[in-house]
Chains A and B, each alone.
Chain A
């Protein structure tokens, strides 16, 4: 899973640094992307491209790992053995996605350990939706279905991006996501078409999750030089708003057909413009929560840190076998 390539946190007037790039190399780089060829780690790339990709892939990786926590906590309490097994398989997949993505980011020159340190210290971000809790099994189902659905919209777009290692990782990730989506849909349908209590639980969970879902893709992109360049370089593949529209197109009908309601009286498709209209999400809340003041921020990082601390002795023991430091960045 994942959130958007958050270009909105770059100040609009920030320098692109392009004046420091070799014009010939830059032109060849842009021509390669325009031809539809991928960029590989050993190629020349502008500093801005590298920096933005590291940030984006790293955030994506963190989102997979932190995103596995609100669902992971339901494994032992999932109703029935089959659902426990399936929930466990999904959570394992998500953690595996993080591994693939950390590797892809490493090819750009940031080490895995540095990324994990930055996550634990709150220096790099992850998808904000995971700062909200899953108080019931139904909340976990909403994540499995709709947060993964949002993630898939993003990932399918990014899989057409220009950076080779990220594309390779996303190809495997997307294959597994198809299971997540079906699994999540099945779980939600089961509850929504079940007993009145199950229906109520599911509706309440959807009510809780709808506002975070609407912020999932980030605020509409401001027109900026950065956004324009990153789109030309196929780093950012679709605008935040287009992703949100695509998500609503695909999933609003599926939510309504199982008798659930969406807690936004203003949500409707404008038949003239073909665009969804909705109550503007609370972007101030998003900002506040991203910056640490959400219901679960502390808990997510504390749990991640406990895993790091508790695993330290294993890493020490394994590393004792290693003669000399041999870390190098992966090739592809």
Chain B
């Protein structure tokens, strides 16, 4: 049996040695999800990192635990990694939209008003897509807005029309909005943390007074 200085581990009665474990099957693993968070009300959602989970709702739970435990957060979106279409990455001073060769078919005649457009779009089988831009390599993708399209490829062209003047755009992610699990406005109290957690902030530790006092005492009794 494994011996340990630590009574809590000694109690576990772990075996002293064991055969190596078998590697898991390549795909015998949880699905991958990407997570976006909103740092405070009114700001754009931004990419914060992945989680692995067996379903979107469990992914949301993991994401909340992983990414909102320590940082202010007022909302979270979770989407399967497979649901994201992305462009290639260009340099920090370029726009990836410039490298798109196709462009949208132009509509003849005067543009119908917004609600008409929307009704027609849905009737044509179009859906909402969320668009995310990466402005600088090493930073996070940020949500810039929504477009309506019939496919991710078309959504990208719509995004170019709507947001193509922004610069730089190193990389674009396109996600069908129906594939995004979002936190509910009504549940916003899940984001408030209790104010009694000061002990986990650097600012709660003020040790200089104690050091100064100690030094004074030492100086007063040099024999010590």
A interface vs B, CB < 8 Å?
A: 32, 35, 37-40, 42-43, 73, 76, 82, 85-86, 89-90, 92-93, 96, 99-100, 103, 106, 111-114, 117, 120-122, 133, 135, 164, 167-169, 172, 175-176, 178-179, 181-183, 185-186, 189-190, 192-193, 257-259, 296, 298-299, 302-303, 305-306, 308, 315, 318-322, 325-332
With A86-B200, A117-B24, A303-B9: A326-B32 Cβ-Cβ less than 8 Å: yes
* 8 Å CB contact of B54 from A112, A186, A319: A319
Query: Are A37 and B91 in contact (CB-based, < 8 A)?
Result: yes
Nearest Cβ in chain B — how far from A260, in angstroms? 11
Query: Are A111 and B29 in contact (CB-based, < 8 A)?
Result: yes
CA A289 – CA B22 in complex, angstroms? 25
Say whether B116 faces chain A, with CB atoms less than 8 Å apart: no
Nearest Cβ in chain A — how far from B6, in angstroms? 5
Q: Which of B64-72, B102-110, B155-163 is the contact stretch?
A: B64-72
0 or 1 for each of B39-62: is its CB under 8 Å from A? (1 = yes): 000000001011011110010000
Q: Identify 14 new A-B residue pairs, CB closer than 8 A, beyond the known A326-B30, A328-B82, A331-B86.
A: A37-B138, A39-B137, A40-B89, A76-B8, A86-B200, A89-B200, A93-B200, A168-B49, A169-B49, A179-B205, A303-B9, A322-B54, A327-B29, A327-B52
The main secondary structure of chain A at its interface with chain B is: helix
Query: Are B31 and A322 in contact (CB-based, < 8 A)?
Result: yes
Query: Are A182 and B202 in contact (CB-based, < 8 A)?
Result: yes
Query: Are B54 and A318 in contact (CB-based, < 8 A)?
Result: yes
Q: List 6 A-B contacts (CB under 8 A).
A: A39-B137, A40-B137, A76-B8, A99-B66, A308-B21, A327-B27
CA A76 – CA B8 in complex, angstroms? 10
Q: Which of B117-125, B145-153, B181-189, B211-219 is the contact stretch?
A: B211-219
CA A186 – CA B20 in complex, angstroms? 41
Residue ID in chain A nearest B80 by CB atoms: A326
For A111, the chain B residues whose CB sits under 8 A away are 26, 29
Say whether B220 faces chain A, with CB atoms less than 8 Å apart: no
Residue ID in chain B nearest A28 by CB atoms: B91
Query: Are B92 and A103 in contact (CB-based, < 8 A)?
Result: no
For A319, the chain B residues whose CB sits under 8 A away are 28, 30, 54
Q: In residues 151-209 of chain B, which contact A (Cβ within 8 Å)?
A: 170-171, 173, 197, 199-205, 207
Query: Are B141 and A327 in contact (CB-based, < 8 A)?
Result: no
The 6 closest A-B pairs by CB, nearest first: A325-B27, A38-B138, A330-B50, A326-B31, A38-B137, A182-B205
For B55, the chain A residues whose CB sits under 8 A away are 321-322
For B214, the chain A residues whose CB sits under 8 A away are 189, 192-193, 258-259
For B9, the chain A residues whose CB sits under 8 A away are 73, 299, 303
Say whether B4 faces chain A, with CB atoms less than 8 Å apart: yes
Say whether B112 faces chain A, with CB atoms less than 8 Å apart: no
Query: Are B138 and A178 in contact (CB-based, < 8 A)?
Result: no
Query: Are A190 and B210 in contact (CB-based, < 8 A)?
Result: yes
CA A186 – CA B49 in complex, angstroms? 32
CA A193 – CA B17 in complex, angstroms? 43
Query: Are B32 and A93 in contact (CB-based, < 8 A)?
Result: no
For A82, the chain B residues whose CB sits under 8 A away are 199
Say whether B144 faces chain A, with CB atoms less than 8 Å apart: no
CA A171 – CA B54 in complex, angstroms? 28
Query: Are A172 and B91 in contact (CB-based, < 8 A)?
Result: no
With A328-B32, A330-B50, A331-B34: A164-B137 Cβ-Cβ less than 8 Å: yes
Say whether B14 faces chain A, with CB atoms less than 8 Å apart: yes
Residue ID in chain A nearest B92 by CB atoms: A37
CA A172 – CA B80 in complex, angstroms? 23
CA A303 – CA B14 in complex, angstroms? 8
Query: Are B21 and A117 in contact (CB-based, < 8 A)?
Result: yes
For A40, the chain B residues whose CB sits under 8 A away are 89, 137-138, 170-171
